A and B are shown apart, each in its own frame.
Chain A
């Protein structure tokens, strides 16, 4: 499978340089989720390429930062102590802390069955969401019900740029019609891409984790689709949720 690994190496090189887009980026996300975790060669290659990528920062000239920067960082640390921080989104925390249901997508799809029955892992994912929210780069986004979609079913998206993950949480998501399921789409100038597998809420709760580089996208859309492989275009009828990243 030398040819496949050559192609994978190309994607991994582009991935660590953050230079992939469009289909290449989607393919890299799939490989990182489905192939790399189980391939020692690719894991080693990824680690080595990431080490090179880190060292490439040294190609830029070092520059003394302003003297005010460290005191500013100290103030920011002191303003938001680690213990007793007030989360920015109460609803999401409620969902995360309850951790009553999890639908795992993307990088977790290989262990989907296990995760659905593994309360400990569900709690772990909830903690990952809380951890993501702690990140200074976290961007909670309201994913708003559209048209006739029940207004109380709003969802929240949280991105964690450091780990290239995206989380979706909702408490009052309606059941899709029989034979149908929800599909998450991410959009940019190139159009819409289905991300992860289709999902269903459990007792109204949705808790999703996807391995994806959110920085490449501008918008998020969740639509109701016929259950099965994702269609090429989002369905514009039926319930849907939309947010700007």
Chain B
């Protein structure tokens, strides 16, 4: 576990003790990443704000939901944000089948239009590692991963849109996740 992960653990411990300054520090560390992924998944500013607000409120109100024995706080919290963003997208989709998503979203990999956003060095480093790992994936695996994670699509829908068997989507997804797991494994 790295120094930054340990710092997160300490901040989380203080949040559990209702320390507002520790909560603000976690917000400062993760709000940009949280808002970035929420915006990418929902593609709607208002919904992304709600998602991020709900995630931070959930952290404040039920900090015990994070179990340090199961991984880093960073992964837990960003998964929470992603989960809420996907839920928000699917809720909306059920209410009215969405028209085509805006086509001008930034790519998941490659040049980052928001590199000037100030964030902690360790997150910047990790972000580069994640993106570098993604670029090592075969394009077909990258594609299903992006459609699932960043577009919030089900495997069934991905198979339908790509015109491939769902078994192929599953195989590509698992292969991609395994490669990323190896590439991103932390000591």
Contact = CB atoms under 8 A, between A and B. Distances in A.
The yes or no verdict on A and B being binding partners is: yes
Give the size range of B's interface with the partner: 35 or more
Interface stretch (A56-64, A94-102, A111-119, A178-186): A56-64
Contacts of A77: 20, 57, 60
A85 to B, nearest CB: 9
Nearest to A134: B61
Contacts of B56: 73
Question: Which applies to chain B's interface (DSSP): helix, strand, loop or mixed?
Answer: helix
Contacts, number: 206
Nearest 7 interchain pairs by C-beta = A54-B75, A57-B78, A60-B40, A19-B148, A62-B32, A65-B35, A57-B37
Contact of B70 (A22, A50, A136): A50
Most B Cβ at <10 Å: residue of A21, A22, A216 = A21
Contacts of A149: none
Question: Which applies to chain A's interface (DSSP): helix, strand, loop or mixed?
Answer: helix
Interface stretch (A6-14, A167-175, A195-203): A6-14
Interface string B123-151: 10011001100100000000001101110
Give the size range of A's interface with the partner: 35 or more
A49 B71 contact: no
Contacts of B106: 60-61
Interface of A: 9-10, 13-14, 16-22, 24, 47-66, 69-70, 72-73, 76-77, 80, 82, 131, 134-137, 161-163, 215-216, 218
A131 B62 contact: yes
Interface in B90-148: 90-91, 94, 106, 108-109, 112-114, 117, 119, 123, 126-127, 130-131, 134, 145-146, 148
B162 to A, nearest CB: 13
